[in-house]
Amino acid sequence: MSVDVKTIEALFKEGRTFAPSEEFRAQANVSNDSLYKEADADIEAFWARQAEKYVSWYKKWDTTLEWDLPFAKWFAGGKLNAAYQCLDRHVAAGKGDKVAYLFEGEPGDTRSITYKQLLDEVCRLANALKGLGVKRGDRVGIYLGMIPELPAAMLACARIGAPHCVVFGGFSADAVADRMQDAGAVCLITQDEAWRRGKAVAMKHNADEACDKAETIKNMVVVRRTGAEVSMVAGRDHWYHELIADQSSECEPEVMDAEDLLFTLYTSGTTAKPKGIKHTTAGYMLQAMYTHDIVFNIHPDTVYWCAADIGWITGHTYIVYGTLGNGTTNILYEGTPDYPVKDRWWEIVEKYKATVLYCAPTAIRTFMKWGPEFPQKHDLSSLKLLGTVGEPINPEAWIWYRQFIGADSIPVVDTWWQTETGGIMVAPLPGVTTLKPGSATKPLPGIRAAVVDEAGKEVSPGGGGYVVLTHPWPGMLRGIWGADERYKETYWATYGDRYLAGDGARIDTDGYFWFMGRVDDVMNVSGHRISTTEVESALVDHPSVAEAAVVGKADEQTGQTIAAFVTLRSGIEGSTELVAELRNHVGKLIGPIAKPKFITFTPELPKTRSGKIMRRLLRDVSEQRLLGDTTTLADTGVVHELQRRAAEEAGKEA
């Protein structure tokens, strides 16, 4: 038996689809399929038109695309500056008083920052960095929490042509050191401490440790956030506020080439060493702005909230470059969804009248676990569109999101993309596409993607396989920092001229993509390929289950068996009866082959700080191996408890 897309669709019980409402369509930026047609007719001409529409050029490009497989150049010869694109041109157009960021600090402090104010701050910091000797082409590390100085620092770097390398504020000193060393950063911008659930995290202390190892760093700039005493190294460390105080608020932007490096951002691959993904200026900016505009249906009065962290690509593209490029007002929230109360997000939506919310399925499943009473305490009627990103969304979570956050009436756009792609690749156009809960629908106009089998042949409708991108796109990575061979090997060695995304997906008869997670999250049980996501989706479909993670456990007889780790909804107790019920539930929805052999109940799943479930660690736990790299784990206590339980289970079996 093979598992086809029908079974995933069956998880959405009524089989309902959601066509755009007349009301939505009437105000949609894109309300017909002409963009798809234009892009199909001539993809390069299409992107050239978008580049004229979205980007302000100092000088127009010479060639739209130079493709020297696997190295792309988009808009070569064109000149621009990303900070100018995000700030100056809006101020010049009379929009200086428009709010760029509505900042909500974790302790409840707030700041409203206009485009003009942000431009001034960016110029001051840019001048200060120059004063420290930072030059065009130098790499600058940024290790900050979600405070307005983070986008300001990125844009100051962009302004002077110094590529930034942001490290997520929750990473450890070692992780910062590795990345700074790899990037050869000359300067690190950090803060005294960060707020995290009411506690102060010692970021400056971590930065000090990182700098002990990363010898290229000559200067550290420290933002005062909590006001804690921190030790400052004379000659190396400078307070941000002191440094910028006397600087001019004018700083001529560097004229950058389209293909100059804008930033590197580290992401994990199959090996332990993170990859510094390279993004260049024009193509990335274009893809960021274009996708932000058409997928989120941006209007002048949009109040946009991307609830990701700027330390990840989602935040780079949709809290900074794409959204500021489009001159949009953004909510910037420092804290977590449950501090100090479980309705903090909904307070924020109500307070700022957010019109778009973009977050990860893991957050949605957490809200489901807490129950709808938290959003129901608030007026969420300002919301016009919801988005998700980062992992497959199970249909039940999609429906819950639409129902309880979206008043059962607004579009939910599931957006598939990667650090490597720079911007959204597969997603609906909310004024055009009929939505199916759990599907990211189709590649955007200008994006070409396919699902292929081992041999590289496109699968027929209903089939599943590997996701490939079949034509270069403007926001694509330009390689891995200092590792061209690894770049070729990772993404291009398998299918030659097609980019291997590393994800599995199925295509349904309407050509919709159903992403199933990383290829290494696909299990092979008795020769049947089963996605961990499908089984998880089935488990979460059960009324007792809040969240589930599934891994393949090596088995002599069947290749792999399925081990599930399940978090129950509050108030529900695990029992042997419930184990049997869950197994049957999965059996019913997908087929007997997909029934988990092992089910372990756990109050929490091990997750990265960005909220991704670390299945690799769960595989280690279920196979009772020593744990692999745990540096990206948010809370190590969770896996240790699971290890203890797994050892107990094994003891019982023996």
Q: Which residues bind ligand PRX (CB under 6 A)?
A: 267, 313-314, 389-392, 414-419, 440, 501-503, 515, 517-518
Residue with Cβ nearer ligand PRX (20 or 390): 390
What is the C-alpha to C-alpha distance for residues 561 and 593, in angstroms, rounded to an integer? 9
- Could you tell me the smallest distance in angstroms from the CB atom of residue 329 to ligand PRX? 23
- Could you tell me the smallest distance in angstroms from the CB atom of residue 653 to ligand PRX? 33
Q: In degrees to the nearest 10, what's the CA dihedral of 515, 516, 520, 521?
A: 150
- Could you tell me the smallest distance in angstroms from the CB atom of residue 11 to ligand PRX? 15
- Could you tell me the smallest distance in angstroms from the CB atom of residue 125 to ligand PRX? 27
Residue with Cβ nearer ligand PRX (360 or 582): 360
- The CA-CA-CA angle for residues 357, 360, 364, to 5°, reads 80
One-letter amino acid at 20 equals P
Cβ–Cβ under 8 Å, residues 261 and 278: yes
> In this structure, what token pair is assigned to residue 552?
């393949």
In the chain, what are the helix, strand and coil shares in percent, each to the nearest 5? Answer: 35, 25, 40
Residue with Cβ nearer ligand PRX (481 or 515): 515
Residue with Cβ nearer ligand PRX (207 or 452): 452
Residue with Cβ nearer ligand PRX (257 or 503): 503
Query: Within 13 Å of residue 516, how many CA atoms lie on the same side as its CB?
Result: 29
> In this structure, what token pair is assigned to residue 360?
């990860």
Collapsed DSSP state (helix, strand, coil) of residue 240:
helix
- Could you tell me the smallest distance in angstroms from the CB atom of residue 503 to ligand PRX? 5
What is the C-alpha to C-alpha distance for residues 294 and 53, in angstroms, rounded to an integer? 13
In order of 199, 336, 343, 345, 611, the CA distances from 340 in angstroms are 11, 9, 9, 11, 19
- Could you tell me the smallest distance in angstroms from the CB atom of residue 313 to ligand PRX? 5
Residue 577: CB atoms within 10 Å: 8
- The CA-CA-CA angle for residues 277, 281, 285, to 5°, reads 95
The full DSSP string for 56-119 is --SB--SEEEEEETTEEEEEET-EE-HHIIIIIHHIIIIITTSEEEEEE-TTS-EEEEEHHHHH
352 contact partners, CB below 8 Å, separation of at least 6: 102, 104, 303, 305, 331
Phi first, then psi, for residue 586 (nearest 5°) are: -65, -45
User: Which residues face 280 on adjacent strands?
Assistant: 261
Residue with Cβ nearer ligand PRX (145 or 517): 517
Residue with Cβ nearer ligand PRX (118 or 389): 389
- Could you tell me the smallest distance in angstroms from the CB atom of residue 293 to ligand PRX? 17
- Could you tell me the smallest distance in angstroms from the CB atom of residue 183 to ligand PRX? 18
249 contact partners, CB below 8 Å, separation of at least 6: 119, 120, 123, 124
As a whole number of angstroms, the longest Cα–Cα distance in the chain is 74
- Could you tell me the smallest distance in angstroms from the CB atom of residue 412 to ligand PRX? 11
Closest CA to 123 of 267, 251, 313, 12: 251
Beta strands 356-359 and 303-306: pairing type? parallel
Residue with Cβ nearer ligand PRX (121 or 503): 503
- Could you tell me the smallest distance in angstroms from the CB atom of residue 213 to ligand PRX? 25
In order of 49, 417, 494, the CA distances from 468 in angstroms are 25, 12, 10
- Could you tell me the smallest distance in angstroms from the CB atom of residue 612 to ligand PRX? 7
The residue written with tokens 């799943």 in the block is 605
Residue with Cβ nearer ligand PRX (161 or 169): 169
Residue with Cβ nearer ligand PRX (215 or 510): 510
Residue with Cβ nearer ligand PRX (302 or 419): 419
What is the C-alpha to C-alpha distance for residues 263 and 121, in angstroms, rounded to an integer? 20
**434-457 burial: b if 16+ Cβ within 10 Å, else e:** ebbbbbbbbbbbbbbbbbbeeebe
- Could you tell me the smallest distance in angstroms from the CB atom of residue 277 to ligand PRX? 8
- Could you tell me the smallest distance in angstroms from the CB atom of residue 581 to ligand PRX? 28
Residue with Cβ nearer ligand PRX (73 or 518): 518
- Could you tell me the smallest distance in angstroms from the CB atom of residue 519 to ligand PRX? 9
Residue with Cβ nearer ligand PRX (166 or 313): 313
Residue with Cβ nearer ligand PRX (418 or 622): 418
Residue with Cβ nearer ligand PRX (297 or 632): 632
Phi first, then psi, for residue 281 (nearest 5°) are: -75, -60
- Could you tell me the smallest distance in angstroms from the CB atom of residue 429 to ligand PRX? 15
- Could you tell me the smallest distance in angstroms from the CB atom of residue 388 to ligand PRX? 6
> In this structure, what token pair is assigned to residue 201?
């995290």
Residue with Cβ nearer ligand PRX (180 or 440): 440
What is the C-alpha to C-alpha distance for residues 61 and 289, in angstroms, rounded to an integer? 18
Closest CA to 72 of 475, 424, 416: 475
What is the C-alpha to C-alpha distance for residues 451 and 630, in angstroms, rounded to an integer? 32
